[in-house]
Amino acid sequence: MRTWQFFLVSLAIALVGFAAARLLKNDYLFFAGYVVLQFIVLATAWNILGGYCGYVNFGSAAFFAIGAYTTVVMTKLPAFANRHLPEGLAEIIGSITPPPIPILILLGGVVAGLVGLGTGYLTLRLRGVFFAIATLALAVVLQTLIVNWDFVGGSRGAYVIRPATVPVLGINYIEYLFLVMLVLVVVALTVARAIERSRLGYGFATIRDDELAAEASGVPTLKLKLVATTLSGAFMGMAGAPFPYYIGFLEPSSAFGLSYAVNAIAMPMIGGTTSWVGPLLGAVLLGTLQQLATVTISSAVSLLIVGLLLVFFVIIAPNGLLGLWHDYFGRKDEKPTQATDKAAVKTS
Amino acid sequence: MDFPVQLFINALIAGILLGGFYAAVTVGISISFGILDIVNIAHPAFIILGSYIAYILNQRFGIDPILVSILVLPLFYYLGSVVYQVYYVSFEKRGQEALRGLAFFFGLLFVTEVILILVFGVDYRYVQAGYIDTTLRFSFLDLPMRMVVPFAISMALVIGLQLFLTKTFTGRAIMAVAQDQLALSLMAADPIKIKRIAFSISIATAAIAGALLIVIQPVEPSVGREYIGRVFAICVLGGMGSLPGTVIAALLLGIVESITSTFYGPSWAPAVAFGFLLITLAVRPSGILGR
Amino acid sequence: MTAPLLKVDNVSKRFGGFVALDGINLEVAPGERLGLIGPNGSGKSTLVNCMSGTLHNETGSVHFDGHAMNGLAPHQRTHLGLARSFQLPRPFHSLSVAENIRVPLLYTVRLRRDVPHTREELEHRCHEVLGLVGLEHKAKKQPKDLTQVEMRKLELARAMAAEPKLLIADEAMAGLSESEVKDIVSLLITLNERGITIILIEHIMTAVMSFSQRLVVLVSGKKISDGDPQDVIRDPEVERAYLGQ
């Protein structure tokens, strides 16, 4: 299936599912479902760098938070402009900010992508291990910066007011957020799948398998790693951009929450890192499991379950659920990271 | 403006004492990551575990926390052996350390923190011991005992380990295994066993570091994560497996953190270590006394 | 006198206190078949790594095809036409044998304007290369399904697939049987006849002698002999340092 076909089919399935879900008239479904969708994007984004290239990112929360706080900044700009800028300018700024959510998503993606690029540029010439540690460092530095930045509320947090009207007719705000995230999921999955089947995907796989041999074969490893880091960071930022509207009150400890860091890693690794299906599978299963556990037991226990599953799977089933499926049902003919003849030469 | 000399000197002293403690915290990583090339980012979790064990026994039986840590050394040593065995069989043997080994340790770190939250809650815990509330005063110099004692123990620990690594057969075998496994095995020393001993020692140091930690400051489960950046920053800056380098880097970090905290406020302290790390990685990854 | 294709000029490399290469000077003419021999640890692989860019030489310079190599990443050198195979095979484990060959085709050959590279031509080239090393029947297999010998052939094939002007074969024949060695030697000579300059690093003297037009000997990081193969092996210093072992 060609990429644009996949996109349209997935979008159609998603929209049909959305319409069906609305029939149940249960807002909680959308509330909880939004979280799962968020995780699908995060897991897919993590996997582009982690699963395809083999570079572990421990700071997923940082990129997510960048997206969230870019939105917060945008929501604070009108008031700031009113207080500090001349009237005419303030009026202009007040009318364009905060921009609608799709724009915010793009903005969040751009800022997070740039940070990903910067982090990568500083550390990707070293071993993968140092990149992983640097991402940890990044998360803490960023959180400290945000905590000390009063404009976005510092450690006290920031209230974010939802707009009065919903841009799409006939649905309420939480359904709108869900819909937006749904479209983002389709985009993320399409991109991940397209990469897998392209020349870029081959390059990523060689970096994961043997960077030295990749270089010797002519693969520009640093450039490709930077592409992966930027894409991965950008999608995480995009996942975070609508979050302030979803949650209404954003404080650093929730934006930089532990659950993002561990889930972004656990979901792809448990689902399976070699294809776009793995993160989707892992996110849906683990996300739903966590929602159930949080409601029935506690959120701490649900996180514990995720952590234990991660350790368990990493030891026992390193290729995740997809790997177990392949082992049990025999190797399929077409491996996910294999580029088809047509795609390999055409795309670049 | 008058430069607050007295404040500065006290911040400097506090930084040195803190730095000494940081050296004890890092020495375990210097061994496991610097020498053995095992990225044990769960090391702070073991340290916090040590802190909580010291807390429990101190609270129930009134035993001095540092004494507790010495008593539980064999337990931590054994724990280290088990963890290494799992790590070796699951990852090192299969050559998968890069991605999966890291994820494994991250999982351990995470699970430990969550279990501690479930068992102890998020309240700060602290220990009682005679010297903790005592402060020696020399004119304007403040020397809080709760920092001086850990400093002394830390220095003893690091010096002891350095002697072990350079003067004993096992210690030198550990240094050798980092450089040439094959040669070592030809000298009739089992490299896997040597590595297991080394890793176990590194976890054992966490027991002591944990006790020192809870003497210096109250502890709660997420404190471990603050130390990840510090530990790796010091390890990298100190030139990976070099223990003297670790001490110098630790002192440096301690001083900078202390001065930043005193003059700009404590909320910036976590960023200092991680900022250090990022700058070191970008500029001089081989560290001060680099290999 | 044509300009040399590869010019290694006073290249030195140390690892801490250990001097791996000590002021190596070497020239390789276009179309030449050069043999490089020396005891283990003499620096042959280090020299290859400095030429290919995997390691950076501390002093001296490497010039290839008129371009200065200092500071260029390995992939850039491969793009310019300098390919190497690794002494210990380093296949891409998650890709099939054919896909392993496709990587240099996609990332090196496709960039060249002087070589045809439509989809069909790259596929054809992939099969051609596999055929040359006798791995066509294993095209869809994984590297882990290959024998040691087949992995060495894959390693060589991957370097060949990059369509280099200069190919450095680093101990490609270790562990091969006599007839397999002869096959590889004649393969390399065929490539050479097509215009590819080849540096052969080997311990198997029969292969080295039958292949090389010129022989260079490296001992303890220094070049101790350089010239006609027959003369070089009769050099008493070479006998003492290497052959007599």
Residue pLDDT, tens place only, B30-82: 999 888 888 898 999 999 999 999 999 998 888 888 888 899 999 999 999 99
CATH code assigned to A3-346: 1.10.3470
C8-53: pLDDT as tens digits: 999 999 887 788 899 999 999 999 999 999 888 888 989 999 999 9
Chains touching B (3+ CB pairs < 8 Å): A
Tell me whether residue C136 is in a domain.
Answer: yes
- State the pairing for strand pair A158-159/C33-37: unpaired
Q: Pick from A120-124, A329-333, B54-58 the range whose average pLDDT is largest.
A: B54-58
Helix or strand run (H / E) with residue A246: helix A243-247
Amino acid at C158: R
Residue C86's domain is classified under what CATH number?
Answer: 3.40.50.300
How many angstroms away from the CA of A82 is the closest CA of chain B? 30
Amino acid at C42: S
Tell me whether residue C11 is in a domain.
Answer: yes
* A123 contacts in chain B (CB < 8 Å): 278, 281-282
pLDDT at A93 over 90: no
pLDDT band at residue A345 using 50, 70 and 90 as cut-offs = very low
* A135 contacts in chain B (CB < 8 Å): none
Q: Residue C129: how many CB atoms within 10 A of its CB?
A: 25
Say whether B107 and A123 touch across the interface (CB within 8 A).
no
A36-64: pLDDT as tens digits: 999 999 999 999 999 999 898 988 999 99
CA-nearest residue to A347 within chain C is: C106
Angstrom CA distances, B280 to A122, B204, B229, B261, B268, stand at 10, 28, 12, 21, 18
Say whether A304 and B118 touch across the interface (CB within 8 A).
yes
Say whether A341 and C119 touch across the interface (CB within 8 A).
yes
Hey, of B85, B111, B235, which one would you mutate to test binding to chain A, going by the most A CBs within 10 A of its CB?
B111
Specify the pLDDT at position B181. Answer: 65
Tell me whether residue C178 is in a domain.
Answer: yes
Angstrom CA distances, C140 to A333, C95, C137, stand at 10, 9, 8
How far apart CA A52 and CA A57 sit, in angstroms, is 12
pLDDT band at residue A342 using 50, 70 and 90 as cut-offs = very low
A322 neighbors A274 (Cβ within 8 angstroms): yes
How many angstroms away from the CA of A127 is the closest CA of chain B? 10
Tell me whether residue C1 is in a domain.
Answer: no
Please choose, from the candidates B226, B279, B106, the residue with its C-alpha nearest in 3D space to the C-alpha of residue A57.
B106
How many angstroms away from the CA of C211 is the closest CA of chain A? 24
How far apart CA B194 and CA B174 sit, in angstroms, is 6
How many angstroms away from the CA of C115 is the closest CA of chain A? 15
**CA gyration radius, chain A:** 20
Q: Residue A118: how many CB atoms within 10 A of its CB?
A: 15
Say whether A318 and B233 touch across the interface (CB within 8 A).
no
Chains touching A (3+ CB pairs < 8 Å): B, C
Task: Name beta bridge partners: B219.
Answer: B125
Exposure pattern of A295-327 as b/e (b: 16+ CB <10 Å)? eeeeebbbbbbbbbbbbebbbebbbbbbbeebe
CA-nearest residue to A121 within chain B is: B282
Say whether A338 and C96 touch across the interface (CB within 8 A).
yes
How far apart CA A153 and CA B273 sit, in angstroms, is 24
pLDDT band at residue A346 using 50, 70 and 90 as cut-offs = very low
Interface of A with B (CB under 8 A): 50, 54, 56, 58, 122-123, 126, 128-130, 132-134, 136-138, 140-141, 143-145, 147-148, 155, 258, 262, 265-266, 269, 273, 300-301, 303-304, 307-308, 310-311, 314-315, 318
CA-nearest residue to C84 within chain A is: A216
In degrees, rounded to 5, the angle at the alpha carbon of residue B224 between the alpha carbons of residues B192 and A306 is 80
B41, B86, B281 ranked by CB distance to A134: nearest: B281
Helix or strand run (H / E) with residue A159: strand A158-159
Can you tell me the ipTM of this complex?
0.89
How many angstroms away from the CA of B278 is the closest CA of chain A? 6
pLDDT band at residue A338 using 50, 70 and 90 as cut-offs = very low
CA-nearest residue to A205 within chain C is: C94
Total count of residues recorded for chain B = 291
pLDDT at A167 over 90: no
B39, B41, B100 ranked by CB distance to A314: nearest: B100
Say whether A345 and C54 touch across the interface (CB within 8 A).
no
How many Å from the N-terminal Cα to the C-terminal Cα in chain A?
18
Going across the sheet that includes C6-15, the strands are: C18-28, C6-15, C59-64, C67-68
Please state the rounded mean pLDDT for residues A196-223: 92
How many angstroms away from the CA of A137 is the closest CA of chain B? 5
The number of distinct structural domains making up chain C is 1
Positions of E strands within chain B: 135-138, 141-144
CA-nearest residue to A260 within chain B is: B110
Positions of E strands within B10-145: 135-138, 141-144
Positions of E strands within chain C: 6-15, 18-28, 33-37, 59-64, 67-68, 82-84, 166-170, 197-201, 214-219, 222-227
Hey, of A155, A303, A311, which one would you mutate to test binding to chain B, going by the most B CBs within 10 A of its CB?
A311
Specify the pLDDT at position A343. Answer: 37
Say whether A208 and C119 touch across the interface (CB within 8 A).
no
C185-235: pLDDT as tens digits: 888 999 999 999 999 999 888 899 999 999 999 998 899 889 999 888 888
Enter the tokens of residue C221: 């990081």
CA-nearest residue to A318 within chain B is: B100
Amino acid at A139: A
Tell me whether residue C217 is in a domain.
Answer: yes
A216, A344, A346 ranked by CB distance to C52: nearest: A216
How many angstroms away from the CA of A26 is the closest CA of chain B? 32
C82-113: pLDDT as tens digits: 999 998 899 999 899 999 999 999 998 888 76
How far apart CA A182 and CA A44 sit, in angstroms, is 13
How many angstroms away from the CA of C103 is the closest CA of chain A? 7
B99, B278, B285 ranked by CB distance to A56: nearest: B99
Enter the tokens of residue B166: 């350079």
**Residue A222 near chain C (CB below 8 Å):** yes
Chains touching C (3+ CB pairs < 8 Å): A
Say whether C119 and A218 touch across the interface (CB within 8 A).
no
How many angstroms away from the CA of A236 is the closest CA of chain B? 19
CA-nearest residue to A222 within chain C is: C73
Tell me whether residue C122 is in a domain.
Answer: yes
How many angstroms away from the CA of A139 is the closest CA of chain B? 9
Tell me whether residue C33 is in a domain.
Answer: yes
* C104 contacts in chain A (CB < 8 Å): 217-218
Q: Is the dihedral of CA B86, B89, B90, B92 positive or negative?
A: positive
Task: Name beta bridge partners: B143.
Answer: B136
pLDDT at C76 over 90: yes
Specify the pLDDT at position B291. Answer: 39
Average pLDDT over chain A, rounded to an integer: 86
Burial label, C174 (beta-carbon count in 10 A; 0-12, 13-18, 19+) = middle
Residue carrying structure tokens 């900078």: B256
Please state the rounded mean pLDDT for residues C148-166: 91
Specify the pLDDT at position A160. Answer: 85
Enter the tokens of residue A308: 């234990």
Enter the tokens of residue A299: 């959120």
How far apart CA B286 and CA A15 sit, in angstroms, is 53
* A269 contacts in chain B (CB < 8 Å): 100, 103
A202, A342, A346 ranked by CB distance to C103: nearest: A202
How far apart CA A60 and CA A232 sit, in angstroms, is 9
pLDDT band at residue A348 using 50, 70 and 90 as cut-offs = very low
The ranges of chain B with pLDDT < 50 are 289-291
A221, A341, A346 ranked by CB distance to C75: nearest: A221
Q: At what angle do helices A221-240 and A173-196 cross, to 10 degrees?
A: 170
Specify the pLDDT at position A317. Answer: 86
Tell me whether residue C13 is in a domain.
Answer: yes
Domain ranges in chain A?
A: 3-346
